[in-house]
Amino acid sequence: MTTDTDTAADVFEEHRPVLLGVAYRMLGRLADAEDVVQDAWLRWSAADRASVREPRGYLVRVTTRLAVDRLRQIKSRGETYVGPWLPEPYVTHYTDHAGTEPDAAERAVLADSVSLALLVVLESLSPLERAVFVLREAFGYPYAEIAAMLDRGEAAVRQLAGRARKHVEERRPRYDVDPARRRDLTERFLTAAAGGDLEGLMSLLAPDVRLVGDSGGKARAPLRVLESADKVGRFILGATRKGGVSGASLRFLEVNGAPAVLILSGGEPDAVFQVEVAEGLIQVVHIIRNPDKLRSLAAV
75 pLDDT higher than 90? no
96 pLDDT higher than 60? no
- For the segment 18-32, the average pLDDT, to the nearest whole number, is 93
Q: Give the domain-ending residue among 171, 197, 230.
A: 171
Same domain, 187 and 214: yes
Task: Report the 10 Å Cβ neighbour count for 178.
Answer: 13
70 or 108, greater pLDDT: 70
Query: What is d(CA 46, CA 42) in angstroms, rounded to the nearest whole number?
Result: 6
> Would you state the pLDDT for residue 261?
94
Phi and psi, residue 123, nearest 5°: -60, -25
> Would you state the pLDDT for residue 99?
41
pLDDT in tens, 99-157: 444 445 445 545 678 899 999 999 999 999 999 999 999 899 999 999 999 999 999 99
Query: What is d(CA 244, CA 136) in angstroms, rounded to the nearest whole number?
Result: 41
Same domain, 162 and 184: no
176 pLDDT higher than 50? yes
> Would you state the pLDDT for residue 114?
86
- For the segment 22-42, the average pLDDT, to the nearest whole number, is 95
> Would you state the pLDDT for residue 206?
97
Confirm whether 260 is domain-assigned.
Answer: yes
Average pLDDT over the chain reads 88
Confirm whether 90 is domain-assigned.
Answer: no
Same domain, 15 and 140: yes
pTM of the prediction? 0.86
Same domain, 133 and 280: no
Same domain, 142 and 251: no
94 pLDDT higher than 80? no
Confirm whether 97 is domain-assigned.
Answer: no
Q: Give the domain-ending residue among 137, 171, 205.
A: 171
DSSP the chain: ---HHHHHHHHHHHHHHHHHHHHHHHHS-HHHHHHHHHHHHHHHHHS-GGG-S-HHHHHHHHHHHHHHHHHHHHHHHTPPPSS---PPP-B-----TTSPPPPHHHHHHHHHHT-HHHHHHHTTS-HHHHHHHIIIIIT---HHHHHHHHT--HHHHHHHHHHHHHHHHHH----B--HHHHHHHHHHHHHHHHTT-HHHHHTTEEEEEEEEEE-TTSSS--SS-EESHHHHHHHHHHHHHTTSGGGSEEEEEEETTEEEEEEEETTEEEEEEEEEEETTEEEEEEEE--HHHHGGGTT-
pLDDT in tens, 198-209: 999 999 999 999
Same domain, 158 and 253: no
- For the segment 65-92, the average pLDDT, to the nearest whole number, is 89
Same domain, 13 and 48: yes
161 pLDDT higher than 70? yes
> Would you state the pLDDT for residue 98?
37
What is the share, in percent, of the chain residues with pLDDT greater than 90?
72
Query: What is d(CA 121, CA 17) in angstroms, rounded to the nearest whole number?
Result: 23
Confirm whether 278 is domain-assigned.
Answer: yes
pLDDT in tens, 248-274: 789 999 999 899 999 998 889 999 999
pLDDT in tens, 225-255: 999 999 999 999 998 887 655 457 899 999 9
- For residue 242, give its domain range: 179-297
Q: Give the domain-ending residue among 138, 171, 204.
A: 171
CATH number assigned to the domain comprising residue 201? 3.10.450.50
> Would you state the pLDDT for residue 146?
97
8 or 285, greater pLDDT: 285
CATH number assigned to the domain comprising residue 148? 1.20.140.160
95 pLDDT higher than 60? no
Same domain, 58 and 33: yes
Tally of domains in the chain:
2
Same domain, 151 and 45: yes
Confirm whether 141 is domain-assigned.
Answer: yes
Same domain, 165 and 249: no
Confirm whether 242 is domain-assigned.
Answer: yes
Same domain, 201 and 281: yes
Confirm whether 147 is domain-assigned.
Answer: yes
- For the segment 274-298, the average pLDDT, to the nearest whole number, is 94
Same domain, 196 and 154: no
Confirm whether 199 is domain-assigned.
Answer: yes
